[in-house]
A and B are shown apart, each in its own frame.
Chain A
Amino acid sequence: MSGKLATTGVFDVKAVRKDFPILQREMNGQPLCFLDTAASSQKPLPVLQAMDNYYRLHHANVHRGVYRLSQEATDMFETARKAVQQFIGAGHEQEIVFTRGTTESINLVASSFGRAFLRPGDEVLITWMEHHANIVPWQLICEQTGAAIRVVPITDTGELDLEALEQYLKGPVKILALTQVSNTLGTINPIRKIVALAHEHGIPVLVDGAQAVPHSPVNVSELDADFYAFSGHKMYGPTGIGILFGKTEWLEKMPPYHGGGEMISRVTFEKTTYNELPFKFEAGTPDIAGSVGLHAAIEYLQGIGLENIAEHEHELLNYGTELLCEIPGLRLIGTAANKAGVLSFVVEGTHPYDLGTLLDKMGIAVRTGHHCTEPIMDRFGIPGTVRASLGMYTTKEELDRLAAGIKRAVNLLL
């Protein structure tokens, strides 16, 4: 694998790019310029190889067989769990629950925590910048339990209104659920401070870490988050696997989410008792290959160094911000002081869909639309944005192409 970086300590984006086969592709006759990493990142060779190797040599169902092969698969699965635990600085392996992704992780907490702790009159506190995945699960459980949702507003720069947050925390709030990094605005929220505030009121916090984990070091113990959710596919791992970290004290008090095999201790038709953590929350055959790929992705990220990635992306963000701001009529949506590698924008007189369509013709892959955050669009009074998002393999040349492409597209459109 790409050891160069780990050994020399120098971040070399050209070397990194060689690890991602898909980046050699052409689109519409141009080298692919992939600027949609926030939606899903591309996969480096070590991840692909690890999954291939698993299926070729080690596959069997986990936790079930006395035979050697099943033991191998189980070891790989549980080693992946251990790797995740260490990667995010969790206290115990049993606090790492494998899910299908951030969405399922949040649904799990909304449903299980909600059934155990939400009553009529209670409040669930979320923010205006949440992904639909951190809105809708709470709406569903509030409908069932009679609890209500309150929403912390954001400012014109796309930052949380911390005063309002403090005020709302004084209400009958049972849980605060918010994102660490906004997928649409790029805003990095001061999570540690917010968690501390919530804890002063005895309120647990779920952090949506989908956009945070791939881009900078995260330590859930330092953050003191009660729940932390993220997705493998956004951190250079495979689709289909996600993670829920939950503090033992909470997970133990919550009822299971799905029922089935793996999650039980003993089943009779009269009464079933549940397995211990984390298996209580992992019904059915898990995504074993996904866990192996995720493990490889973690090692890859560690090999390159998340500090290096954060620095690279930060430099690119500044570079891209300057380039885009030079374009007449372009308005950045999301101008927080503390921002991750997301450039969301609109150009006066053009529709994001038209811009995205023309950029695609130039081989530039950006996302257009509301990015599963419709309330943000309503807040800024726009139909959507064009969003370019950065990854460890993004280059300055690609941002140059983006800026030139936007100018060309705007010329066609206006």
Chain B
Amino acid sequence: MESINEIQDAIIDEFSFFGDWMEKYEYIIELGKDLPLIDAQYKTEDYLVRGCQSKVWLHASLEDGKVIFKADSDAIITKGIIGLLIRVLSGHSPQDILDADLYFLDKIGLKEHLSPTRANGLVSMLKQMKLYALAFQKQLTGKND
């Protein structure tokens, strides 16, 4: 399995082929449409990360020491970006996720979507992803404080 940074670099590489914002967003929108990201059973209030503009649902589980994230959004662009975040972070160990430095969004010109002024739920989602990783990390190391 590729490391978090290898995946980020691959995405940066893919995005370097887009000529303008249209192509880039077309791609993100397609990503958003193609990915059925979360089971209907998790699309409930319990898993809702509330942004004020778009809603995000996030579910995490630990499988063989790796964190599996599933998420969804009611806004398609948000959902496409979630697809990218999940591609980068899902399937890695809690420690790797905690240590991850997400530089790819900046490099592909989508950092604005992680600005709190957008209130799209992505900032809260990332925070929540790290919190899940932290909780799983404690579970794995048997610490219970």
Task: Compute how far the CA of A368 lies from the CA of B54 in the bound complex, rounded to whole angstroms.
Answer: 10
The reply to whether the CB of A257 lies closer than 8 angstroms to some CB of chain B is no
Task: Compute how far the CA of A353 lies from the CA of B52 in the bound complex, rounded to whole angstroms.
Answer: 10
Task: Compute how far the CA of A106 lies from the CA of B112 in the bound complex, rounded to whole angstroms.
Answer: 34
Taking a contact as CB atoms under 8 Å apart, the answer to whether B74 and A357 are in contact is no
Taking a contact as CB atoms under 8 Å apart, the answer to whether A383 and B25 are in contact is no
Given A353-B54, A369-B119: A383 in contact with B74 (beta carbons within 8 A): yes
Given A354-B75, A357-B77: A369 in contact with B52 (beta carbons within 8 A): yes
Taking a contact as CB atoms under 8 Å apart, the answer to whether A413 and B53 are in contact is no
Identify the closest chain B residue to A351 (Cβ): B75
Taking a contact as CB atoms under 8 Å apart, the answer to whether A353 and B21 are in contact is no
Taking a contact as CB atoms under 8 Å apart, the answer to whether B21 and A352 are in contact is no
What sequence of 0s and 1s flags, for each residue 43-80 of chain A, a beta carbon within 8 Å of any chain B beta carbon?
00000000000000000000000000000000000000
Taking a contact as CB atoms under 8 Å apart, the answer to whether A383 and B76 are in contact is no
Taking a contact as CB atoms under 8 Å apart, the answer to whether A383 and B29 are in contact is no
A87 to chain B, nearest CB (A): 33
Neighbouring A residues of B120 by C-beta, 8 Å: 353
The reply to whether the CB of A384 lies closer than 8 angstroms to some CB of chain B is yes
How many residues of B are in contact with the other chain, CB < 8 A?
17
What sequence of 0s and 1s flags, for each residue 17-42 of chain B, a beta carbon within 8 Å of any chain A beta carbon?
00001100110010000000000000
B33 to chain A, nearest CB (A): 9
Identify the closest chain B residue to A361 (Cβ): B21
Neighbouring A residues of B78 by C-beta, 8 Å: 353-354
Task: Compute how far the CA of A80 lies from the CA of B75 in the bound complex, rounded to whole angstroms.
Answer: 46
The reply to whether the CB of B107 lies closer than 8 angstroms to some CB of chain A is no
Taking a contact as CB atoms under 8 Å apart, the answer to whether B21 and A412 are in contact is no
Neighbouring B residues of A280 by C-beta, 8 Å: none
The reply to whether the CB of B70 lies closer than 8 angstroms to some CB of chain A is no
Q: Which positions 350-392 of chain A face chain B at CB distance < 8 Å?
A: 350-354, 357-358, 361, 368-370, 383-384
Identify the closest chain B residue to A383 (Cβ): B74
The reply to whether the CB of B66 lies closer than 8 angstroms to some CB of chain A is no
- Chain B residues in contact with chain A, CB under 8 A? 21-22, 25-26, 29, 52-55, 74-78, 113, 119-120
Closest 7 CB pairs of A and B: A351-B75, A353-B75, A353-B54, A353-B53, A369-B53, A354-B77, A361-B21
